[in-house]
Amino acid sequence: MRKLIILFLTLCTIAPAMAQKKIACIGASITYGATVPDREHNSFPAQLQALLGKDYIVSNYGVSGTTLLSNGDHPYIKTNEYRQALQCNPDIVFIDLGGNDSKLINRVHMAEYEADYHALIRSFTQLPSHPRIILLGPVVSFVTDTTGIWDAVIVKQVIPHIQQVALQEGLEMLDMHPLLIDKPELLPDNIHPNAAGSGIMAKRLYDQLMVQRDPAFDIFKQLSIPTTVSAFYGYACADFTLDNHACKVVKPKWAAKGHPWIWRARFWGHEPQTDIALLERGYHVVYCDVAELLGNQVAIQTWNHFYDLLQKAGLARKAAMEGMSRGGVYVFNWAAENPDKVACVYVDNPVLDLKSWPGGLGKVKPAADVLQQLKADYGITTDAQLQQFKGSPVDKVKEIVKGKYPILILCADADEAVPPTENTLLFEQKVKALHGNITVMHKPGFKHHPHSLPNPSPIVEFTLSAVTPALFIVQ
């Protein structure tokens, strides 16, 4: 009898751990798998099930043509599938609604979108299972009929509404829009992803479930400085002043284990797709405005103080660095003096030789005010001093490669503002000569703008593989 009691207690203990987690996929035709051959196996919920395996039960509650709007032409909340999703008492809910709301017939109700989304969320949060709810932004639409699923409305109205709801509810949101924006061939009818496109969606959801999280960590509670809170694309942002410089710290909905972070050097909020994608994955995004010190010692010292503050607040010892245009100078000049504090560097059409820009000793004639700023920042008073100037990243390659961190440069080959031959290509040559780890991704035919990539996946994967390879599954 004693052995039977012990066996019973053991089974009771391990049974909850063995229970399958139930996932409900809420959505319209893309969730359902419309137009996808063999949708039972190739819709994104079905492919998610295949990735997750036997520990999960993924149920597809998609209904073609449905809207999130309760006054839309086909409200999801009036479907049997919605009631079935509630009855299944799921542990995890993915909500992919919004594409059909961008149709002309539904746009007149767009002011009701957020209230309707809050109501839909409440119907699930009130369930006994208290599920983890993840909101999905609609995928890109290549439809040219402006009365239909119109991408401009998705980008300018639907996604911002979802971001606001996610901020207010404290819920995760995955911006699915960039994932297929550079792959129109995977949407044969310009709306619905095929099996391969659905696979990309499924992989993104899978990765989100696999991240090792530290949900108890809240950097706002650890910052030893007065702050105010603003919003950054659906995330809470702490704003404060350090050494008379404006600073920002954006926290994810939950922190990834180890508290990774990316440090934006310049042009806050410009082409934010990489920052948003990393926030989704539990990274923090930070900024300390040292414009326009152009990477001089005052800028470096200010950043040292900022770094120390973030260390005391609990962020990882090494940062992923991000710099666009002149931001490249800030990043590498700081990294040259702090090589052991850098996990990786991503720079985009970067200024790497201040004599080229804004010094005017190369192909580009600089704006007079920026040239004067350079001279003031570095105490340059004569043309001879400018010609002999050695304060740029191209002059500090030996110190930079000591960090042994990977470097990714996006280089627009037709950059008219920051000539690649005087900056990226010269820097690449010097780094490779010292056996540094550098990759240059060329953008043939592109000028200085736009920065980044519409689909930031290559940048994101570079960062994940360098910073947190054990926490994320990267293809």
- β-pair partners for 92: 23, 132
pLDDT at 470 over 80: no
Q: What is the mean pLDDT of residues 455-474?
A: 84
| Angle in degrees, 0-180, between the axes of helices 80-87 and 113-125, rounded to the nearest 10 | 40
What is the residue-averaged pLDDT of the chain? 94
Q: How far is CA 230 from CA 217, 233, 250, 309, in A?
A: 19, 10, 9, 20
Task: Taking residues 136-146, report their average pLDDT.
Answer: 97
- Burial (CB < 10 A; 0-12, 13-18, 19+), residue 193, is buried
* Other Cβ atoms closer than 10 A to 304: 15
| In contact, 369 and 297? CB cutoff 8 Å | no
SS (H, E, C) the chain: CHHHHHHHHHHHHHHHHHCCEEEEEEECHHHHCCCCCCHHHHCHHHHHHHHHHHHEEEEEEECCCCECCCCCCCEHHHCHHHHHHHHCCCCEEEEECCCHHHCHHHHCCHHHHHHHHHHHHHHHHCCCCCCEEEEEECCCCCCCCCCCCCHHHHHHHHHHHHHHHHHHHCCEEEECHHHHCCCHHHCCCCCCCCHHHHHHHHHHHHHHHHCCEECCCCHHHHCCCCCEEEEECCEEEEEEEECCEEEEEECCCCEECCCCEEEECCCCCCCCHHHHHHHHCCCEEEEECCCCCCCCHHHHHHHHHHHHHHHHCCCCCCEEEEEECCHHHHHHHHHHHCHHHEEEEEEECCCCCCCCCCCCCCCCCCCHHHHHHHHHHHCCCCHHHHHCCCCCHHHCHHHHHCCCCCEEEEEECCCCCCCHHHCHHHHHHHHHHCCCCEEEEEECCCCCCCCCCCCCHHHHHHHHHHHCCCCCCCC
Q: How confident is the model at residue 429 (pLDDT cuts 50, 70, 90)?
A: very high
Cα-only R_g, the chain: 25
Question: pLDDT value at position 5?
Answer: 39
With 60 as the cut, is the pLDDT of residue 2 above it? Answer: no
Q: What percent of the chain has pLDDT over 70?
A: 95
Angle subtended at Cα 139 by Cα 134 and Cα 145, rounded to the nearest 5 degrees? 140
pLDDT, tens digit (0-9, with 9 covering 90-100), for 93-127:
999 999 999 999 999 999 999 999 999 999 999 99
When pLDDT is averaged across residues 383-402 and rounded to a whole number, the result is: 96
Query: In the chain, what are the domain boundaries?
Result: 2-210, 219-467
Mean local confidence (pLDDT), 356-376:
91
Q: CA 270 → CA 250, 266, 303, 346, distances in Å?
A: 15, 9, 20, 15
Q: pLDDT by residue (tens digit) across 12-25? A: 344 444 689 999 99
Instruction: Supply the pTM of this predicted model.
Output: 0.93
Tell me the mean pLDDT in the region 205-222: 96
Question: Residue 83 is which amino acid?
Answer: R
Kindly state the average pLDDT of the residues 313-336: 97
Closest CA to 48 of 281, 277, 207, 211: 207
Whole-number pLDDT of residue 472: 56
Share above pLDDT 90 across residues of the chain, in percent, rounded to a whole number: 93
| Domain pair 2-210 / 219-467, same fold | yes
Report the pLDDT averaged over residues 43-72. Answer: 98
**pLDDT score, position 365:** 87
pLDDT, average across residues 192-216 = 97
pLDDT tens profile 440-452:
999 999 999 999 9
- pLDDT, tens digit (0-9, with 9 covering 90-100), for 289-302: 999 999 999 999 99
Strand partners, 241: 246
* Dihedral, 375, 302, 282, 311 alpha carbons, nearest 10: 150
- What pLDDT is attached to residue 367? 82
Residues contacting 118, CB < 8 A, separation 6+: 165, 168, 169
Cβ atoms of 320 and 343 closer than 8 Å:
yes
The CB-side HSE value for 68 (13 A sphere, CA atoms) comes to 31
Q: How far apart are CA 405 and CA 371, in angstroms?
A: 31
Q: Which amino acid is at 383?
A: D
Candidates 339, 247, 227; CA nearest to 289 is 247
Tell me which of 3.40.50.150, 3.30.70.120, 3.10.20.600, 3.40.50.1820 is the CATH number of domain 219-467: 3.40.50.1820
Phi, psi of 241 (to 5 degrees): -120, 135
For residue 419, pLDDT over 80 is answered with yes
Q: Which of 397, 384, 467, 455 shows the shortest CA–CA distance to 427?
A: 397
Split at pLDDT 50, 70, 90, the class of 469 is confident
Residue 19's pLDDT is: 85
How far is it, in rounded angstroms, from Cα 222 to Cα 224?
6
Mean pLDDT of 149-155: 98
| CATH code for residues 2-210 | 3.40.50.1110
Dist CA 125 CA 22 (whole Å): 15
